[in-house]
Amino acid sequence: MLSVPCPWCGPRDETEFRYGGQAHVAYPDDPATLSDAEWAEYLFMHDNPKGWFAERWFHTAGCRRWFDVVRHTVTYAFEAPR
C-alpha cells in the first residue's frame, strides 16, 4: 500500500485517500468559446507519463483537502514535499 504524504496530516495509508489524476489541468477560462477539439483535450487527453507525474489526491478520511504531489509512476516513490 502507498504511504501518501498529505501536506497537512503527514504520511498516511493510501486507503484514506481518493486519487484525482493529473494535477494542474485548469478549468477553461471561457468554456463557451471552446472548440470540440479543445473540449476533448481538456476532458480526455491527460498526460500518462512513465516517470515523474504531478497528480492530485484527496484526503477523504482525514483533513478532506485536495493537494498535489509528484510521484514516480514506475517506482511509485513520492517526491519529498517542499
43: partner contacted, choices Zn ion, another protein, none (Cβ within 5-8 A by kind): another protein
For Zn ion, the binding residues in 24-63 under the rule CB under 5 A are 59, 62-63
Nearest distance from C-beta of residue 69 to another protein, angstroms: 11
Grid cell 501518501 is found at 4
**Binding of another protein at residue 56 (CB under 8 A)?**
no
Our CA angle for 19, 24, 27, nearest 5°, is 100
**Which of 8/39 has CB closer to another protein?**
39
Nearest distance from C-beta of residue 33 to Zn ion, angstroms: 37
Count the neighbouring beta carbons within 10 Å of the beta carbon of residue 57: 25
